[in-house]
């Protein structure tokens, strides 16, 4: 006798449960001695509180089960009115939810083992029953039945068939859907090999797979790439998908297999495949029609491509001659004899003639039956045709012929077939119509080619004119930029220099006049820059150069631009930063341009003692940063909002007489925001103010902490540079005398010695002579331009590391890139801010 303590888990956790309620036990046993044995064992079992009911026959036991609930049944398989496994099956059929323990006279009896397979929860050997074993077996049986019931409930909820097999591939559990799918009763499947349902199961699932699943449980699709079929009780086969997952149970390793009937899916796939094949055939015919005017080649393609998709054995194309009103053979495919080639039918004669006359499809189930009246039946006897279909070929409402298809077996078309046959007929009609119109098309093509040539020549001429116009516009803008920036460089430079009062103090009037000169020059520079930016936008040449920048510094720097005007109008300016974020990735110059334009407009259109604010918010979830500029100004009417981003437009033209501006600022803001990958929205109420919201991309991982943020050149202190005892030598290549005077005087006050030359050739010669610490190179100069001079200097190893700053009054798209590519370290557009120039020089010389 085996030690049950090794088989069953500890019952210590169950004792409290069993003490809470009395087990209702039904013992179906006809032997009085065995009945006495079980009574005594139950009485001695300390872990079980029970009430025992008796039944001496199976029929009595079944009656007791119907009238009274029981927690467990002890069943002797050999009773006066039933013997063996039939006893168990009869009981399980009626008592589906009650755990059953079979009683056997022998250990490891085959009948007992089979009883476990068929649904018994456990077994007891009569001569080996003790109170301890009985208590454990009872509780184990109840728990096991409860677990099985829970699993069965779960399996019953599944829409597919579910089969649980043991390590011997025998079926232990099935759900109701399995019965529906396979046509078996549950009891007919339990204990049977899985191969009864799927013959290939063991060949596609190895024990290795199951061991692998137990180590790392997962649902795995079985037989990938294979066509798997299952067999119903009636012998019919159907396609299935199988998913399997291995589990470890108290009965050993088992596998849960989900079996899905994919008959409908397979039919749908076949229909899709058939549809795709038909589309491919129609496409091949389309290509033949479009690529060839050879009628015979096109007809051959139609029949060769169409027949397989129609599942037809043979087909004929008959063409209609309008003059003779005869249908004549044009092409055929799939015939055993040449009889079809001699077909010639009058309009209305035979089935083909009637189809052409009535313009309706015809179908004959069997052309060999004389009653059908198929005129060519005798000629086609060797062909052994049965079914026949014929459709008219119509194009532009004219009958052009008919198409006939033949089958050597009975065939009845479905909707998909009819649709394809009609499409094939339309293709054939198009091919015939194309062939008939070939000569006319040739003449039309010649005429069309001539017209195309004329149109192409006209387009080339217009494109050339447009190219010349664009080039002239670019050259004009470049020239105007240079001509305007060159004097502005001196005007703004000397203004900036004089306002610093380094050569002596100015009286109040002098300072006021120079400030007005500087302000007017700055305004003119803004207009020039706006016009150039719009030109770059239209040419698609406006680029941005993103880098990690300080949000606070950009905002504060932008606010500084409007501070003076705001103070003049007693406008309060507020900066609200609702975020701890200190940095973002953007083009600092262009972002500042966006904010300054919006802030300038806010101040410009806000009455005295109004309010302007700049607010910054972060949306970490959306990875966005919001810059919001609001004012308490005049506001914008709703019907004027769509004009805001149109160039050279102000929503109220009367304002242009009172306010400076060209109407380009918001156009530039809109485009710069787009280039940053952002968007801009406007909220406004007429008479109360406006809010412009600029939303830009922002990512946390692109931010830098303040201590890691690169130093801004704006932070370089130049206030006491003049006290430096060492005077670095700077070579200035500049052909405009006023610019030379401005830069030379300013840099001299900041401790630099400046030597000037008027052209690129002299710049190269003088640089080799004096070996300057830094070179300022104008780009537009006589004899040799600055770009070529930079290239030649960089070719000399002595100037490999000499800093070169390119200065240009062009400031056109691509200028910066060309200067950097030539070898310049920095690029500055005229008019140059002298303070910015000193900061850049200090940075390059590591001051």
Residue 305 and residue 239 share a domain: no
Residue 13 has pLDDT above 60, yes or no: no
Position with higher pLDDT, 351 vs 508:
351
Residues whose CB is less than 8 angstroms from the CB of residue 684 and which lie 6 or more positions away in sequence, other chains included: 635, 636, 638, 641, 690, 691
Task: Note whether residue 149 is domain-resident.
Answer: yes
Q: What is the mean pLDDT of residues 311-322?
A: 91
Measured distance CA(262)–CA(159) in Å, rounded: 12
Residues whose CB is less than 8 angstroms from the CB of residue 32 and which lie 6 or more positions away in sequence, other chains included: none
**Four-CA torsion 773, 779, 783, 788, nearest 10 degrees:** 70
Residue 88 has pLDDT above 90, yes or no: no
Contact 395, 427 (CB under 8 A): no
For the segment 616-675, what is each residue's pLDDT rounded down to a tens digit?
Answer: 998 878 888 999 999 998 888 887 777 777 665 555 544 444 455 556 778 888 889 998
Is the pTM higher than 0.95? no
Cα–Cα distance list, 614 to 335, 341, 574, 591, 617 (Å): 86, 89, 6, 13, 10
Beta strands of 496-550 (E only): which ranges?
A: 547-550
Task: Note whether residue 527 is domain-resident.
Answer: no
Residue 726 has pLDDT above 50, yes or no: no
Residue 280 has pLDDT above 60, yes or no: yes
* Range with the largest mean pLDDT of 16-25, 54-63, 68-77: 54-63
Instruction: Determine the pLDDT at residue 406.
Output: 93
Instruction: Determine the pLDDT at residue 612.
Output: 94
pLDDT band at 757 (very low <50, low <70, confident <90, very high): very high
Q: Tokens standing for 54? A: 């008796």
pLDDT band at 511 (very low <50, low <70, confident <90, very high): confident
Domain boundary among 261, 287, 315: 261
Instruction: Determine the pLDDT at residue 314.
Output: 92
For the segment 783-798, what is each residue's pLDDT rounded down to a tens digit?
Answer: 999 999 999 999 999 9
Instruction: Determine the pLDDT at residue 657.
Output: 42
Measured distance CA(281)–CA(302) in Å, rounded: 8
CATH number of the domain residue 405 falls in: 3.30.450.40
Instruction: Determine the pLDDT at residue 317.
Output: 92
What phi-psi label fits residue 45: left (phi over 0), alpha (psi between -120 and 50 degrees) or beta? beta
Give the pairing type, strands 679-685 and 50-55.
Answer: unpaired
Instruction: Determine the pLDDT at residue 474.
Output: 67
Instruction: Determine the pLDDT at residue 756.
Output: 95
Residue 736 and residue 698 share a domain: no
Q: What is the mean pLDDT of residues 476-497?
A: 71
Residue 697 and residue 592 share a domain: yes
Instruction: Determine the pLDDT at residue 695.
Output: 94
Measured distance CA(572)–CA(565) in Å, rounded: 11
Residue 286 and residue 247 share a domain: no
At 836, which helix (H) or strand (E)?
helix 834-844
Task: Note whether residue 506 is domain-resident.
Answer: no
Instruction: Determine the pLDDT at residue 808.
Output: 84
* Number of other CB atoms surrounding residue 802 within 10 Å: 19
Instruction: Determine the pLDDT at residue 784.
Output: 93
Instruction: Determine the pLDDT at residue 6.
Output: 32
Domain boundary among 419, 436, 453: 436
Task: Note whether residue 671 is domain-resident.
Answer: yes
Domain count, the chain: 5
For the segment 171-215, what is each residue's pLDDT rounded down to a tens digit?
Answer: 888 888 889 889 998 888 888 888 888 877 766 665 445 455 545
Instruction: Determine the pLDDT at residue 646.
Output: 67
| CA 776 to chain CA centroid, nearest Å | 51
Q: Tokens standing for 588? A: 């600092």
Residue 732 and residue 684 share a domain: no
Task: Note whether residue 701 is domain-resident.
Answer: yes
Position with higher pLDDT, 662 vs 694:
694
CATH number of the domain residue 232 falls in: 3.30.450.20
Instruction: Determine the pLDDT at residue 615.
Output: 93
Instruction: Determine the pLDDT at residue 372.
Output: 67
Residue 721 and residue 780 share a domain: yes
Residue 136 and residue 193 share a domain: no
Instruction: Determine the pLDDT at residue 591.
Output: 92
State the residue range of the domain holding 742: 716-844
| Beta-bridge mates of residue 235 | none
Q: What is the mean pLDDT of residues 727-731?
A: 88
Residue 366 and residue 296 share a domain: yes
Q: What is the mean pLDDT of residues 548-561?
A: 90
Contact 665, 722 (CB under 8 A): no
| CA 55 to chain CA centroid, nearest Å | 70
Q: Tokens standing for 528? A: 């020039």
Domain boundary among 653, 685, 710: 710
Residue 725 has pLDDT above 50, yes or no: no
Q: What is the mean pLDDT of the chain?
A: 81
Position with higher pLDDT, 738 vs 106:
738
CATH number of the domain residue 733 falls in: 3.40.50.2300
Beta strands of 354-506 (E only): which ranges?
A: 362-364, 387-395, 398-407
* Range with the largest mean pLDDT of 93-102, 158-167, 711-720: 158-167
Per 3-state DSSP, what percentage of the chain is helix, strand, and coil (rounded to 5)?
50, 20, 30
* Range with the largest mean pLDDT of 70-74, 242-246, 500-504, 693-697: 693-697
Task: Note whether residue 490 is domain-resident.
Answer: no
Residue 187 and residue 140 share a domain: no
Task: Note whether residue 495 is domain-resident.
Answer: no
For the segment 391-400, what is each residue's pLDDT rounded down to a tens digit?
Answer: 999 988 999 9
Position with higher pLDDT, 660 vs 749:
749
Task: Note whether residue 626 is domain-resident.
Answer: yes
Closest CA to 119 of 196, 57, 174: 174
Beta strands of 95-142 (E only): which ranges?
A: 100-104, 122-125
Residue 429 and residue 324 share a domain: yes
Measured distance CA(457)–CA(460) in Å, rounded: 5
Instruction: Determine the pLDDT at residue 705.
Output: 46
Measured distance CA(238)–CA(621) in Å, rounded: 51
Residue 832 and residue 817 share a domain: yes
Measured distance CA(528)–CA(537) in Å, rounded: 14
User: Cα angle at 26 between 23 and 32, to 5 degrees?
Assistant: 125
Residue 482 has pLDDT above 70, yes or no: no
Measured distance CA(157)–CA(175) in Å, rounded: 9
Residue 720 and residue 697 share a domain: no
Query: φ, ψ for residue 821 (rounded to 5)?
Result: -65, -35
For the segment 213-230, what is each residue's pLDDT rounded down to a tens digit?
Answer: 545 555 555 555 567 888
For the segment 121-145, what is each residue's pLDDT rounded down to a tens digit?
Answer: 788 888 777 777 777 777 776 776 6
pLDDT band at 254 (very low <50, low <70, confident <90, very high): confident
For the segment 422-462, what is each residue's pLDDT rounded down to a tens digit?
Answer: 988 888 888 888 877 775 767 777 888 888 888 888 888 88
Signed CA dihedral, 116, 122, 127, 128: sign only: positive
Instruction: Determine the pLDDT at residue 203.
Output: 64
């Amino acid at each position: 006798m085996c030690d049950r303590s090794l088989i069953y888990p500890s019952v210590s956790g169950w004792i409290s449960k069993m003490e809470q309620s009395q087990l209702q036990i039904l013992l179906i046993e006809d032997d009085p001695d065995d009945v006495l044995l079980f009574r005594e064992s139950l009485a001695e079992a300390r872990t079980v509180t029970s009430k025992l009911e008796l039944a001496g026959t199976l029929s009595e036991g079944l009656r007791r089960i119907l009238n009274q609930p029981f927690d467990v049944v002890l069943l002797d398989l050999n009773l006066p009115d039933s013997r063996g496994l039939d006893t168990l099956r009869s009981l399980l059929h009626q008592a589906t939810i009650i755990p059953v323990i079979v009683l056997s006279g022998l250990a490891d009896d085959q009948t007992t083992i089979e009883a476990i397979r068929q649904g018994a929860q456990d077994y007891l050997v009569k001569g080996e029953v003790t109170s301890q074993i009985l208590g454990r077996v009872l509780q184990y049986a109840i728990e096991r039945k409860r677990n099985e019931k829970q699993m069965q409930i779960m399996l019953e909820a599944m829409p597919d068939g579910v089969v649980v097999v043991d390590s011997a591939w025998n079926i232990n559990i099935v759900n109701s859907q399995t019965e529906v799918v396979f046509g078996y009763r549950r009891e007919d499947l339990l204990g049977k090999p899985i191969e009864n349902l799927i013959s290939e199961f063991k060949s596609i699932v190895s024990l290795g797979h199951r061991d692998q699943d137990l180590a790392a449980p997962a649902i795995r699709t079985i037989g990938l790439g294979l066509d798997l079929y299952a067999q119903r009780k009636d012998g019919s086969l159907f396609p299935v998908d199988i998913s399997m997952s291995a589990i470890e149970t108290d009965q050993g390793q088992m596998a849960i297999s989900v079996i899905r009937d994919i008959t409908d899916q397979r039919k749908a796939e076949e229909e899709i495949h058939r549809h795709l094949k038909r589309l491919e055939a129609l496409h091949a015919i389309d290509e033949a029609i479009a690529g060839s005017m050879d009628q015979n080649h096109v007809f051959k393609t139609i029949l060769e491509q169409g027949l397989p998709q129609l599942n037809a054995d043979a087909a004929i194309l008959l063409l209609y001659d309008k003059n003779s009103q005869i249908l004549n053979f044009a092409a055929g495919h799939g015939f055993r004899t040449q009889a079809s080639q001699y077909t010639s039918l009058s309009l209305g004669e035979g089935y083909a003639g009637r189809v052409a006359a009535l313009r309706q499809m015809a179908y004959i189930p069997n052309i060999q039956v004389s009653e059908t009246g198929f005129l060519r039946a005798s000629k086609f006897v060797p062909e052994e045709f049965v079914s026949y279909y014929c459709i008219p070929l119509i194009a532009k409402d004219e009958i052009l012929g008919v198409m006939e298809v033949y089958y050597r077996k009975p065939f009845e078309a479905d909707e998909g077939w009819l649709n394809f046959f009609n499409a094939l007929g339309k293709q054939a009609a198009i091919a015939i119509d194309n062939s008939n119109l070939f000569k006319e098309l040739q003449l039309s093509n010649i005429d069309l080619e001539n017209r195309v040539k004329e149109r192409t020549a006209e387009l080339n001429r217009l494109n050339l004119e447009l190219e010349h116009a664009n080039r002239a516009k670019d050259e004009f803008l470049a020239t105007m930029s240079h001509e305007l920036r060159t004097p502005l460089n001196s005007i703004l430079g000397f203004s900036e220099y004089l306002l610093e009062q380094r050569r002596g103090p100015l009286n109040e009037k002098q300072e006021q006049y120079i400030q007005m000169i500087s302000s007017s020059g700055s305004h003119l520079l803004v207009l020039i820059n706006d016009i150039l930016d719009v030109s770059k936008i239209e040419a698609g040449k406006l680029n941005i150069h993103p880098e990690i920048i300080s949000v606070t510094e950009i905002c504060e720097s932008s606010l500084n631009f409007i501070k003076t005007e705001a103070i003049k109008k007693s406008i309060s300016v507020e900066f609200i930063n609702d975020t701890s974020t200190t940095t973002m990735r953007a083009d600092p110059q262009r972002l500042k341009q966006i904010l300054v334009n919006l802030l300038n407009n806010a101040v410009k259109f806000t009455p005295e003692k109004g309010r302007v604010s700049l607010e910054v918010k972060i949306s970490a979830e959306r990875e966005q940063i919001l810059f919001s500029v609001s004012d308490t100004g005049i506001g914008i009417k709703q019907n004027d909002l769509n004009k805001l981003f149109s160039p050279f437009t102000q929503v109220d033209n009367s304002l242009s007489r009172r306010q400076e501006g060209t109407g380009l600022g918001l156009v530039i803001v809109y485009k710069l925001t787009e280039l940053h990958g952002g968007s801009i929205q406007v909220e406004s109420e007429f008479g109360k103010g406006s809010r412009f919201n600029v939303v830009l991309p922002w990512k946390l991982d692109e931010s830098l902490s303040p201590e890691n943020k690169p130093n801004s050149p704006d932070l370089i202190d130049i206030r006491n540079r003049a006290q430096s005892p060492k005077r670095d030598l700077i070579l200035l290549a500049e052909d405009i005398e006023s610019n030379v005077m401005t830069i030379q005087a300013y840099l001299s006050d900041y401790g630099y010695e400046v030597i000037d030359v008027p052209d690129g050739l002299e710049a190269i010669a003088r640089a080799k002579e004096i070996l300057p610490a830094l070179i300022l190179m104008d780009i537009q100069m006589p004899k040799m331009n600055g770009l070529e001079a930079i290239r030649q200097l960089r070719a000399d190893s002595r100037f490999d590391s000499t800093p070169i700053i390119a200065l240009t009054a062009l400031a056109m798209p691509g200028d910066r890139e060309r200067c950097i590519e030539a070898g310049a370290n920095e690029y500055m557009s005229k008019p140059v801010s002298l303070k910015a120039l000193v900061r850049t020089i200090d940075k390059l010389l590591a001051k």
